[in-house]
Amino acid sequence: MNRGPARNQGPDQMTQDLRIGVIGTGMIGQDHIRRLTHVLAGARVTGVTDTDPARATAAATKAPGARVHASAEALIAADDVDAVLICSWGPAHEAAILPALAAGKPVFCEKPLATTQEACLRIIDAEVVLGRRLIQVGYMRRYDAAYRALKATVDSGSIGAPLMFHSAHRNASVPEGLYTDDMAIADTMVHDIDVARWLLDDEVARVRVLAPKRNSVGKDLRDPIFGLLEMRGGALATVEVSVNIGYGYDIRGEISAEQGTAELAESNPLVVKGNGQFAGRVPADWRERFIAAYDAEFASWIAAARDGGATGPSAWDGYAIQAVSDAGIEAARTGETVAVTLVEKPALYA
């Protein structure tokens, strides 16, 4: 029985392109428009909207044929929009996702799914009523070749059962005064929380967050921080977040298992030796480090959305990560170990 709205008509019958409407044309919205227009096949941007109409108009000039819509609602309702890409700020995500689901249009939502667990659960409820997945959330590390190799190694059983995952998330710098203590968890650590759950195939049961001596570069910012995630099955994940490390954007990840270890190699493909030293490039930022992962993530979304569905990180993942993030923020403020409580997982996300 079909309990939801009729399926969207699907890709343009003439070009077979998936026609995408983009909500939010700021930094990452513009980067995804470039990706969809110049890098990937099978899709094109046909509509854009932003709270700043001038920004939307400028973004539309980068996507031939794209129309500017006055609101997210108008964009979602447009006949020439098959699927919706949400790149607005987190508190606006729910208000865009729900009407897109009601219209039966596949959604790619940049992380976070929403900024409260209650909002995440309203989104989950709407998707469950629909009876099929339409939402992919932008946790792109799962599409990075090195993380995929790490996941395949763990899943193969070749190093035995995983016991610990050590993650480090190091940014060269963050804007002083704009980046807050809580953002180290809600904006930054969420990616490590995502891959910890994915690699260990488990949910987080408890969180503790420690703050060592501050990095003086960040002045009053609580930086770095160290998160300890206890998984339900007993494995541990440790996460260092350092956001003023200076030397570049450095992502580390290692699984320690019963019979071996596996770790992400350097992302730099070239090592130069001279003057008694060896050297290689460290990525400048997350765009450089994960550019191929974003491309793979969107190729996967386009394929699934053209079939009227969704794959990859789900609304459930978005909700579970939000719950861990909330617990982490409380743990950082109180110094306590904070339990993560999740609702029962709907069968749709099994």
Q: What secondary structure does DSSP assign to 294-336, as a single string?
A: HHHHHHHHHHHHHTT---SS-HHHHHHHHHHHHHHHHHHHH-S
Nearer to ligand NAP, 159 or 291 (CB): 291
CB of 46 to ligand NAP, least distance (A): 16
- On whether the CB atoms of residues 59 and 29 are closer than 8 A, the answer is yes
The runs of H, that is alpha helices, within the chain are 27-34, 53-60, 72-77, 93-102, 117-130, 145-156, 183, 190-200, 286-306, 315-334
Stretch that binds ligand NAP, among 17-25, 239-247, 268-276, 338-346 (CB under 6 A): 17-25
Considering only residues 4, 10, 12, 26, which one is a binding residue for ligand NAP as defined by CB under 6 A? 26
Cis peptide before 5 (omega within 30 of 0): no
Nearer to ligand NAP, 89 or 246 (CB): 89
CB of 44 to ligand NAP, least distance (A): 20
Stretch that binds ligand NAP, among 50-58, 161-169, 273-281, 316-324 (CB under 6 A): 50-58
- On whether the CB atoms of residues 314 and 279 are closer than 8 A, the answer is no
- On whether the CB atoms of residues 9 and 308 are closer than 8 A, the answer is no
Binding track, positions 63-102, relative to ligand NAP; x by CB under 6 A:
---------x--------------xxxx-x----------
> How many other C-beta atoms lie within 10 A of the C-beta of residue 254?
15
- The answer to whether 51 contacts ligand NAP (rule: CB under 6 A) is yes
Nearer to ligand NAP, 126 or 235 (CB): 126
3-state secondary structure of 251: strand
Nearer to ligand NAP, 88 or 171 (CB): 88
Stretch that binds ligand NAP, among 23-31, 175-183, 242-250, 300-308 (CB under 6 A): 23-31
- Tell me how far apart the alpha carbons of residues 165 and 253 are, in angstroms, rounded to a whole number: 7
Cis peptide before 99 (omega within 30 of 0): no
CB of 344 to ligand NAP, least distance (A): 27
- The answer to whether 55 contacts ligand NAP (rule: CB under 6 A) is yes
Considering only residues 18, 22, 23, 119, which one is a binding residue for ligand NAP as defined by CB under 6 A? 23
CB of 93 to ligand NAP, least distance (A): 7
Nearer to ligand NAP, 82 or 297 (CB): 297
Nearer to ligand NAP, 294 or 316 (CB): 294
CB of 70 to ligand NAP, least distance (A): 10
Residues present in the chain in total = 350
Considering only residues 29, 106, 253, 312, which one is a binding residue for ligand NAP as defined by CB under 6 A? 29
CB of 73 to ligand NAP, least distance (A): 10
Q: Give the tokens for residue 114.
A: 């929403």
> What does residue 52 show for φ and ψ, rounded to 5 degrees?
-100, 100
Residue 77 contacts by C-beta under 8 Å, 6 or more apart in sequence?
Answer: 99, 103
- Tell me how far apart the alpha carbons of residues 350 and 347 are, in angstroms, rounded to a whole number: 5
- The answer to whether 225 contacts ligand NAP (rule: CB under 6 A) is no
Identify the burial level of 37 via C-beta atoms within 10 angstroms of its C-beta, where 0-12 means exposed, 13-18 middle and 19 or more buried.
middle
- On whether the CB atoms of residues 63 and 73 are closer than 8 A, the answer is no
Nearer to ligand NAP, 27 or 271 (CB): 27
Q: Considering only residues 104-133, where is the footprint of ligand NAP by CB under 6 A?
A: 110-111
Stretch that binds ligand NAP, among 45-53, 164-172, 209-217, 302-310 (CB under 6 A): 45-53
Residues in contact with ligand NAP by CB under 6 A are 23-29, 49-52, 55, 72, 87-90, 92, 110-111, 138, 140, 286
